[in-house]
Amino acid sequence: MLLTDPDALVVGDGPFAVDTEFHAENCYHPRLHLLQVRAPGAPAQLIDTHDARLMAALADRLVSRPWIVHAGRIDLPLLARALGSVPETVHDTQIAAGLVQTKYPAGLADLLERWCGVHLDKGETLSDWSRRPLTPGQITYAAQDVAHLHALWDALSSRAAELGRSEILAAACTEARDVAVAGPDDRDAWLQIPGARALDVPAAGILRRLAAWREDVARRSDRPAPTVLGNRVLLELARRAPVGDALLQGRRAPKRTLHAHADALQDAITGGPRDTVGIPGPIRAGSPEAARLAWWTAWAEALALAGGWSASLVIPPSDRDDLALGGPGPTGWRASLLGEDLPAARRGDRPLALPSTIP
């Protein structure tokens, strides 16, 4: 049901199930168009986020109790801006799934099918949520996204408890909540560019500054970062480190953009702090580092199969790179889950057998 009166919000006992509908095309910050909320045992209530007065009137009540979300990494920043904050406790079913099954990230429909026996109709996935009024089909679709989140969380958290992972699940959800609300660090944007990890440290330092500059421009102009300057252009600039007129050379160089931002780009390449703190060494194809990375990746996948959790969640690519370069690898809740397996792998005294079945 569509909620128009803030006093009609059903609060009930226990956490809210929360979801959003948004558009992320052709912008830096996704546009929030609808908020779905459901209290335990109550019908889903849909909130028109275009109604600023309604959102302001509901904000305190909505953040007064924990939430259950699915894949909150986009929803939480949107709702933090729209409501002023989000609860300290946010249970994420996608994170929970990654701790009790090997597939991650898993979609809501797949999880509901497996863990609750519920089939979701995804017919409105590409619907235009900005238009008003909403159609009956949109309303039904939006409501079903929160209709079963309580049951899904109960199933996944119960399985985590059976496996002795309740504390790890709580810590993982807290980390995911904090990271989502804080937002990405511009200084880490370079790591998302394919080919970045093959650069030597000085070139990687240039790419880090260029990528951070691009994020800032994209944010201020509210456009997707790759539309400011493409990844290949940034990589080329980082490798060549051009000075003066050489900045405009290159087959893929968009001359108009480079002219418009020449001073800022030149500063990123040659000026400003030349720090390379925190930049790891390169991992190039055929190198010893690449061989170690392949070994750690195989180890992570085999360990995840044996333990019934997702390697991509527990030992993400950044941690595998760190291990390949001799670093400590996973810390915090990830290290707690791995227990003695990580130090044993370093010592080479606990070979891992590949399981015959996937949990």
Three-class DSSP category at 348 = coil
Q: Each residue of 13-22: pLDDT tens digit?
A: 999 999 999 9
Residue 286, sorted as left (phi over 0), alpha (psi -120 to 50) or beta, turns out to be left
Tokens linked to 27:
């912008």
CA distances from 296 to 277, 300, 320, 329, 357 (A): 24, 6, 6, 10, 21
pLDDT given at position 245: 87
Instruction: Report pLDDT for 124.
Output: 66
Say whether 92 sits in a helix, a strand or coil: strand
Task: Enumerate residues 6+ apart whose C-beta is below 8 A from 136.
Answer: none
pLDDT under 50 in the chain at which residues?
none
State CA 20 to chain mean position distance: 16
By DSSP bridging, strand 67-69 and strand 16-23 are parallel
Read out DSSP for 183-236?
A: ---GGGGGGGSTTGGGS-HHHHHHHHHHHHHHHHHHHHHTS-GGGTS-HHHHHH
**What is this structure's pTM?**
0.92
Full strand arrangement of the beta sheet holding 67-69: 2-3, 45-48, 31-38, 16-23, 67-69, 90-92
The residues facing 16 across adjacent strands are 67
- Please give the pLDDT value at position 353: 60
**pLDDT reported for residue 31:** 96
Give the C-alpha separation, 21 to 139, whole Å: 11
pLDDT of residue 358: 52
What is the structure's pLDDT at 60? 96
Model pLDDT, residue 325: 94
